[in-house]
Chain A
Amino acid sequence: MISAVISLGGIGLGAAVILGLAAKKFAVEVDPKEEAILEVLPGANCGACGFPGCGGFAKAVVAGEADPSACSPGGSSVTAKIAEIMGVEAASAEPMVAVVNCQGDNQKAQNKYKYLGIQTCASAQMLAGGPKACPGGCLGLGDCMVACPFGAIEITAEGLAVINREKCVGCKKCVSACPRNVITMVPKSATVSVLCNSHDKGPAVKKYCQVGCIGCTLCKKTAEEVYAIDNFLAHVTYDTYDHEKAKAGMEKCPTKCIRDFAEGYPEGSSFQP
């Protein structure tokens, strides 16, 4: 009994001394600024900044390799705090949100075949370019929803991805997860977007989708500063965005493929503006 206590106690004591010395000898110097920045970061480890997690970002900021405003989930408040820690002037960046440029759910858009395989967009896309007749439309199998670390994306009952503008922090994970490049990043303040991703000509679009852009140029004729047509597909030019003009162009759209998110999300979505 006694011998057991002594021998185990001895081992414990010996290990404690070794560990104590090792902690002193191999101590890792951490910049206090780095720790302070890590404190104020959201801790989502989303990677939107381009660095491996929040720790990597904090390190890069201290090293002067990263822009303090690069943390999109944190937004301007976190940028301000980081700027304070670093003792620099905070540059405010326009917050961005992701938008699914499609409204063609299973009710409104045609499929060219019935897909029964693996239920991911990436797999479906590899079979003859996806079941959706439209080459650009949302497949609705939710690869973006899975990729979103913030739970900001839902798939409606009719198979359309919708992004909640309040929850979206602009990390762009969904943009790279989408095999059809339906999702784009837009400034959060500009609520009007063209929700179509088909560059096909009008008659072709009409064949497979009720809410597709037919490239009629009516929006551009109404508000030339806000809309541009690129290869039979309209898009909003956010550099010269003007809300009133954008709304005027939206009213003219014959297929209603332009939407103001301030007024409401696409049909079937549970999100409220």
Chain B
Amino acid sequence: MELKTFRGGLHPPDNKKWSDKKAIEVCPLAEGDELVIHLSQHIGAPAEACVKKGDLVKKGQVIGTPKGFVSVPIHASTSGEVIAVEPRIASAGTMLPAVVIKADGEDAWDEGLVGGDPDTMTPDEIKDKIKDAGIVGMGGATFPTHVKLSPPEDKKIEYLILNGVECEPYLTADDRLMLEDPESIVEGILILKKVLGVDKAIIGIEANKPDAIETMTNACAGKGVEVGALKVQYPQGAEKQLIFALTGREVPSGGLPMDCGVVVQNVGTAAAVNDAVRKGIPLIERIATVSGAAIAEPKNLKIKIGQPLSKLVEFCGGIKGDLGKVIQGGPMMGMAAVSLDVPATRGTSGVLLFAEDQVLKEPEGPCVRCGNCVRACPAFIMPTEIATMARNSMFDEAEKLNAMDCIECGCCTYICPARIPLIQSLRQAKGAILAKRRKV
């Protein structure tokens, strides 16, 4: 059978063998450990701290209240004492407001957390539960889930697509989740289907995860959920590309998936939705892959939000050889972390440690007009042209060249024989265009 896919893209070595057979382990938390929980871990308005220094908090207690619709609450990942409410360093090197909790080692749950039976709840009640639990897109983009589940009246949603593609090299967190907890995912999907009122749900999984495809197919049997096997091709897991591969529909330029009748959720999000609705458990833990050439023992970990990356690395046997670069997220789209002291957030799908000799240090060369970036671009834009405009601060021209269609997948930069950091220019152009739009 011909596997479904999208147009453009490329196929980097997936490097998943290092961790894809490793069962998920819980990253331990000892008494006295400090958790730095940032108040802005999602796209949208940051939450506002509702605890102060000296307060005692329980696991799952709200410590940050949302401001606005596109925002979610933030919860304590463990029980303990709040020792500071102040700006702390975040992954990108900037100081962001955070609540620092000193763990008391008891890890005691907040007793106010109650679940419900999704069969007897109305869609709005379920959505409120999802919002209160702080559920965001677990693929890494961290867009508030309740917003995605609230399409305007005039947009009819026909498909719910579950993203189990995990096309980023190295990462195996979603793969392991599908193997170890398929029931939670399927239950979560059924809840999401009810909220959206759709009949069709498809789980997209790349063909390099045959075990996950089999497990999910068995778990979905008789539940009205399909499993779609997809060609191994990056960025198969990008929302718009995944929609095209599975349904043949194209999201219009500047539009959202709901414009073509689709809502996409990560499989991890589905499992989190299930926990939130049935048990009332907020998003305080997630699964992350720790891998790369500079880690002693690659693992899949269940981490607490706020644990410093150094703890994760320590649990995986520490650094092996010369550490060159730490990436939070996948190698294609993730961001370099300024140090191992930064905390894990709701978007930490992976922590990748690369060796010194794996870091590209050669300077960029001139563009040789080979067109590789244009062919590889899954959004059908011309990265090299837009990058040139961005470098000369010609952002209006960049906008005319559809810079805003860029999904920041990094294919152009990966394929460029002249090693031009095209994606940096594209991000710069997008940032400038957005800033200009906000001003108008």
Are the CB atoms of A116 and B424 closer together than 8 Å? no
Among the stretches A120-128, A161-169, A184-192, the one at the interface with B is A120-128
A128-B94 CB under 8 A given contacts A113-B338, A116-B360, A117-B421: yes
Are the CB atoms of B421 and A113 closer together than 8 Å? no
Are the CB atoms of B391 and A128 closer together than 8 Å? no
Complex CA–CA separation, A117 to B426 (angstroms): 13
Main SS class of interface, B: loop
Residue of chain B at shortest CB distance from A133: B93
Which residues from 393 to 437 on chain B have a C-beta closer than 8 Å to any C-beta of chain A?
Answer: 393, 421, 424-425, 427-428, 431
Are the CB atoms of B428 and A123 closer together than 8 Å? yes
Encoded as 1 (CB less than 8 Å from any A CB) or 0, chain B from 250 to 283 comes to 0000000000000000000000000000000000
Query: Residues of A contacting B424 with CB < 8 Å?
Result: 117-118, 123, 127
Nearest chain A CB to B25 CB, angstrom units: 30
Residue of chain A at shortest CB distance from B431: A126
Nearest chain A CB to B216 CB, angstrom units: 38
A108 close to B (CB within 8 Å): no
Query: Residues of B contacting A159 with CB < 8 Å?
Result: none
Nearest chain B CB to A227 CB, angstrom units: 30
Are the CB atoms of B360 and A112 closer together than 8 Å? no
Query: Residues of B contacting A113 with CB < 8 Å?
Result: 93, 336, 338
Nearest chain B CB to A56 CB, angstrom units: 21
The residue that B338 contacts in the complex, of A116, A118, A126, A128, with Cβ under 8 A, is A128
Complex CA–CA separation, A127 to B424 (angstroms): 9
Query: Residues of B contacting A120 with CB < 8 Å?
Result: 391
Most chain A beta carbons < 10 A, residue from B94, B425, B428: B428
A129 close to B (CB within 8 Å): yes
Complex CA–CA separation, A113 to B363 (angstroms): 17
Query: Residues of A contacting B364 with CB < 8 Å?
Result: 118
B440 close to A (CB within 8 Å): no
Are the CB atoms of B421 and A112 closer together than 8 Å? no
- Which chain A residues have a beta carbon within 8 Å of chain B's beta carbons? 112-113, 116-120, 122-123, 126-129
A129-B336 CB under 8 A given contacts A116-B361, A118-B421, A123-B424: no
Are the CB atoms of B94 and A129 closer together than 8 Å? yes
Residue of chain B at shortest CB distance from A129: B94
Nearest chain A CB to B311 CB, angstrom units: 21
Total inter-chain residue pairs, C-beta < 8 Å: 34
Complex CA–CA separation, A120 to B425 (angstroms): 11
A118-B425 CB under 8 A given contacts A112-B338, A113-B336: yes
Query: Residues of A contacting B93 with CB < 8 Å?
Result: 112-113, 127-129
Give 6 closest A-B pairs by Cβ, nearest first.
A128-B93, A128-B92, A113-B338, A117-B424, A117-B421, A118-B424
Query: Residues of B contacting A128 with CB < 8 Å?
Result: 92-94, 338
Complex CA–CA separation, A154 to B363 (angstroms): 21
11 A-B residue contacts at CB 8 Å? A113-B93, A113-B338, A116-B359, A118-B421, A118-B424, A119-B363, A123-B424, A126-B427, A127-B92, A127-B424, A128-B92
Complex CA–CA separation, A127 to B336 (angstroms): 10
Query: Residues of A contacting B361 with CB < 8 Å?
Result: 116
Nearest chain B CB to A124 CB, angstrom units: 10
Query: Residues of B contacting A129 with CB < 8 Å?
Result: 93-94
Nearest chain A CB to B355 CB, angstrom units: 15
Complex CA–CA separation, A116 to B356 (angstroms): 13
Are the CB atoms of B428 and A126 closer together than 8 Å? yes
Complex CA–CA separation, A150 to B388 (angstroms): 25
Beyond A119-B363, A123-B425, A126-B431, 6 additional contacts (C-beta under 8 Å) are: A112-B93, A116-B360, A117-B421, A117-B424, A118-B424, A127-B93
Nearest chain B CB to A120 CB, angstrom units: 7
Encoded as 1 (CB less than 8 Å from any A CB) or 0, chain B from 364 to 390 comes to 100000000000000000000000000
Complex CA–CA separation, A113 to B393 (angstroms): 25
Query: Residues of B contacting A117 with CB < 8 Å?
Result: 421, 424
Query: Residues of B contacting A127 with CB < 8 Å?
Result: 92-93, 424
Query: Residues of B contacting A112 with CB < 8 Å?
Result: 93, 338
Complex CA–CA separation, A112 to B342 (angstroms): 13
Query: Residues of A contacting B338 with CB < 8 Å?
Result: 112-113, 128
Nearest chain A CB to B398 CB, angstrom units: 14
Complex CA–CA separation, A119 to B419 (angstroms): 13
Encoded as 1 (CB less than 8 Å from any A CB) or 0, chain B from 346 to 361 comes to 0000000000000111
Encoded as 1 (CB less than 8 Å from any A CB) or 0, chain B from 52 to 87 comes to 000000000000000000000000000000000000
Complex CA–CA separation, A123 to B94 (angstroms): 16
Complex CA–CA separation, A112 to B427 (angstroms): 22
Query: Residues of A contacting B92 with CB < 8 Å?
Result: 127-128
Complex CA–CA separation, A122 to B338 (angstroms): 19
Complex CA–CA separation, A118 to B422 (angstroms): 9
Most chain B beta carbons < 10 A, residue from A112, A118, A120, A122: A118
Nearest chain B CB to A174 CB, angstrom units: 15
Complex CA–CA separation, A116 to B364 (angstroms): 10
Nearest chain B CB to A199 CB, angstrom units: 15
Nearest chain A CB to B425 CB, angstrom units: 7
Most chain A beta carbons < 10 A, residue from B94, B336, B393: B336
Query: Residues of A contacting B363 with CB < 8 Å?
Result: 119
Are the CB atoms of B359 and A118 closer together than 8 Å? no
Query: Residues of B contacting A116 with CB < 8 Å?
Result: 359-361
Complex CA–CA separation, A131 to B277 (angstroms): 43
Nearest chain A CB to B177 CB, angstrom units: 31
Nearest chain B CB to A263 CB, angstrom units: 37
Nearest chain A CB to B285 CB, angstrom units: 27
Complex CA–CA separation, A29 to B167 (angstroms): 68
Query: Residues of B contacting A118 with CB < 8 Å?
Result: 364, 391, 421, 424-425
Query: Residues of B contacting A122 with CB < 8 Å?
Result: 393, 428
Nearest chain B CB to A180 CB, angstrom units: 15
Query: Residues of A contacting B94 with CB < 8 Å?
Result: 128-129
Complex CA–CA separation, A127 to B91 (angstroms): 11
